[in-house]
A and B are shown apart, each in its own frame.
Chain A
C-alpha cells in the first residue's frame, strides 16, 4: 500500500492554517480590542496575557507559508502573486505589531503612545489583510493554461472580500475577548465580557452574511451545499449539516457561558465557531488548492519530497504540539498587574 502523500500534506497544511487562525486569532484579537481598553494598566495586562505565546502562535503562519512552498509549490507560486498586495500589507502590519511587544516597554511617553497605536493598528490591518486574502481565495484566482496567475492586481478587492475582512475582524475580536475573559480579572474581565457580547453578536451576523454571500460568489460552492441551477438537493445539505451545527453549538456555548459568568467556556465556544466557519469554507473549494482551477494533486511536489518531509512531520509535529501545550501550561492562570508576573 502506498500512502496518498498529497492528501496527507493537504491535511497537514489545513491543520497548520487552522492552528494559526485559532492561536494568532486570539492575540490579534487582543490587539483589535486595544483601543477599547479602559486604562493604560489594562492595556499592559492585555499585552502581558499574550506576550509569552504570540511568537509561537505566529510560527504557524510560517508553517502555513513554508509548508505550502514546500509541499504545493505550484499553488504557492500561483497564489502569492495573485494576492500580492494584501499579503505584503499583512506582513508589514505584522512587523509593526510584533515589534510593539518589546518596543512598547522600552518607549518613554511618546514612544509608548506610538507603539500602543502601532499594536492596535497593526493587529487590525493584519486581520483585514488576512480577510482580503481569504475572500480573494474563495472567490477564485484567475490562472493561465500553465497554472500561473493571470488576473488583475486588485482582483482581491470586491464587496465580497470586504465582507469577509469585516467578518474576520469581528471573529478575531471575539477570540480575543474570550481569551481575556479566561485570563484576566476584575474590571478588565468585566469589560471583556461586554466585548464578547458585542463581537459575538457581530461574528454571528457576519458569519451568516458571509455564508449567504459565498453561495452567490461561486456556483461550485453553492452546488456543494445542494443549490444548483435553481434546484435544491436536500441530501447534499444534510450531509454537510454537522458543520453549521458545530457553529451553532459554539455560539450556544458562548452565550450560555457568558450568561453563567463562566471563565473558560466562552473561549471554547469561540473556538467551535471558528472551526465551523473554517470547515464550511473548506468544503466549498476542496479539493482545489487554488480555487477553482488547480487541485491539491496538480499543485503537489514530487512524492520523494513529500515523503522526506512527512518523516519529519511525524516526529516533529507531535513534539511541537507537546511543548507548545507545555508553554501554555507554564503560563496558566490569571494575569494581573500586581502578580509580579514576569
Chain B
C-alpha cells in the first residue's frame, strides 16, 4: 500500500469526520433533552428538572464547542483535499450545504450564546425559546447533511451535460432522494439513543454512589424510556434502510453480509473472515437460509454476491462486514437494556435498587458512540470505490496536492485532536463525577461575592425568583 495523497486524504477525512460525528451525535440528542427538561421545569416547577438542566448544559457547552470547531474543518476540507469532488458535485448538492449554514448553523450558534449566558438576561420564556431553537437547529443541520450524504449514496434528480459536468434537474428529488427518509430517521434515532445512553450511564453511576439521588433517578428513568422505545424502533428503521441498500447499492449489501456467490437461500454469517483475494470467507459461522430472509424478507430471494461485480467495483469487505456486526450487536444490547430497565420500573420497585442493572447501564454508556461510528463506516466504506455512487470514483476525486503536505496536516490533526479529545473527555467525566447539585434554598439570594466569571451558567442558580419570573 502506497501512502500517496489519495490514501492520506482518505485517512485524514475518515479521521476528522469520525472525530466530528462523536459530538453532533451526542449534542443533537442532548439539545432536545435540555429543551424537554427546561419545558418540564417551566410547566411543573419541579426543581429537579432545573437542577438536571443546569447540570447537563455544562456538558452540552463542552461537547457543542468541540463539535463546532471540528465541524468548521469539514467545510474547508472538501476543497483542500477533495477539490475534484467539490467541483463535480457542488453544482448539484452545493445548495444543500449552503442551506445547512443558513438554516441551522447560524440558528444554533446565535441562540447558543443566549442559552449558555443569557439566563439572567432574558425571561424564562425567551430562554426556553433559545434552548428550543438550538435543539431545532441541530435537527435541521442533520436534515441537510444526511440529505447530501444520501445523494452521494444514491444520486437522483441530476443529469450529466455534454462537457461532463453535473447539473440538477429537480431539486426536490436531489434533496429527497429515495433513501433519504430512512437514513435521516436512522441518524436522528442514533443520536437520541447515544444521548440516552450517556445520560442513563452517568445517572446510574451517581445512583451506585448514592441511591437516594433524586435527580439521577428521574434522569435514569427518562433514559430507560428512550432505550425501551427508541432502540427497538431503531432496529426497524435500520432494517428498512438495509432493504433499500439491497435495492440501490447491491454491492454494499453483499459486502455487509459477505455474500460472494449470487444465489437464493443465502446463509447468514454470524462471524467470518472475508478474504478479497481468494473471493471467499474463512472461518464462517453461519445459519443457513436466513441471510436471504433477513436482507430481502424471503428466504427464496436471490441475493447478488460480490463475484457478480467487477473486482474494481467491490467495496472492502471485512471492515464493512465487521462494522455492521458491531453496530447491530450493540443495538441488540441496547434493546435488552431497555427491556430490562422497563421491567425493573414496572415490577422491580425501581431501577435504582438494582446495582447489577446500574452497572450494566454504566458499561453501556459509551456504546452509542461506537455504534454510530460503526454505522458510518458501513455507510461510507460500503459506498467505495465510489464517492458518488456510479458517478465519481474516490480515486478521481482527490485534490492536486502532494503527499508531503497531507501527511503533515494528518499528523497535526492527530496531535490536536488527541489533546482536545483527551482534555474534553476528562472535563466531561469530571463534571459527571461531581454530579447534578440541587440549588440550596439560601443560594437563591444574589451572591455577595461573584463566582468565577465566565463560568457557563455558573451564577444561574443564584437568580432571584423575581427576576426569573419577570
Nearest CB in chain A: distance from B89 CB, A: 8
Q: Is B3 an interface residue (CB 8 A)?
A: no
User: Which residues of the other chain, B, contact A330 by a CB distance below 8 angstroms?
Assistant: 114, 118, 121-122
User: Which residues of the other chain, A, contact B84 by a CB distance below 8 angstroms?
Assistant: 77
Selected from A88, A104, A317, the residue in CB contact (under 8 A) with B409 is A88
Nearest CB in chain B: distance from A301 CB, A: 5
User: Which residues of the other chain, B, contact A205 by a CB distance below 8 angstroms?
Assistant: none
Selected from B80, B105, B400, B456, the residue in CB contact (under 8 A) with A150 is B400
Q: Is A262 an interface residue (CB 8 A)?
A: no
Q: How many residues does chain A have at the interface if contact means C-beta atoms less than 8 Å apart?
A: 76
Q: Which residue of B lies closest to A325 (CB)?
A: B110
Q: Which residue of A lies closest to B175 (CB)?
A: A308
- Name which of A59-67, A213-221, A269-277 contacts chain B: A59-67
Nearest CB in chain B: distance from A62 CB, A: 5
Q: How many residues does chain B have at the interface if contact means C-beta atoms less than 8 Å apart?
A: 82
B91 close to A320 (CB less than 8 A) = no
User: Which residues of the other chain, B, contact A160 by a CB distance below 8 angstroms?
Assistant: none
Q: Is B7 an interface residue (CB 8 A)?
A: no
**B305-335 to A contact mask, C-beta < 8 Å, 1/0:** 0000000000000000000000000000000
- Name which of A49-57, A173-181, A195-203, A225-233 contacts chain B: A49-57
B95 close to A61 (CB less than 8 A) = no
User: Which residues of the other chain, A, contact B412 by a CB distance below 8 angstroms?
Assistant: 88, 92
* Residues of B60-93 contacting chain A, CB below 8 A: 61-62, 65-66, 68-73, 75-80, 83-84, 86-87, 90-92
A contacts with B: majority SS: helix
Q: Is B405 an interface residue (CB 8 A)?
A: yes
Selected from A99, A153, A302, A317, the residue in CB contact (under 8 A) with B167 is A302
Selected from B78, B79, B121, B452, the residue in CB contact (under 8 A) with A79 is B79
User: Which residues of the other chain, B, contact A51 by a CB distance below 8 angstroms?
Assistant: 113, 116-117, 454
B contacts with A: majority SS: helix
User: Which residues of the other chain, B, contact A67 by a CB distance below 8 angstroms?
Assistant: 98, 101
Q: Is B350 an interface residue (CB 8 A)?
A: no
B102 close to A55 (CB less than 8 A) = no
Q: Is A313 an interface residue (CB 8 A)?
A: yes
B450 close to A55 (CB less than 8 A) = no
Selected from B72, B90, B171, the residue in CB contact (under 8 A) with A301 is B90
Q: Is A102 an interface residue (CB 8 A)?
A: yes
Selected from A44, A84, A342, the residue in CB contact (under 8 A) with B120 is A342
**A75-117 to B contact mask, C-beta < 8 Å, 1/0:** 0111111011101100110111011011111110001000000
B423 close to A342 (CB less than 8 A) = no
User: Which residues of the other chain, A, contact B409 by a CB distance below 8 angstroms?
Assistant: 84-85, 88
A81 close to B120 (CB less than 8 A) = no
Selected from B78, B95, B99, B118, the residue in CB contact (under 8 A) with A52 is B118
Most buried by A among B119, B455, B457: B455
Q: Could you show 24 A-B contacts with beta carbons less than 8 Å apart?
A: A44-B454, A51-B113, A55-B108, A66-B75, A66-B98, A69-B75, A76-B79, A80-B76, A80-B80, A80-B83, A80-B399, A81-B80, A94-B69, A103-B62, A104-B454, A111-B423, A302-B167, A302-B168, A305-B94, A309-B98, A309-B99, A312-B98, A324-B110, A342-B455
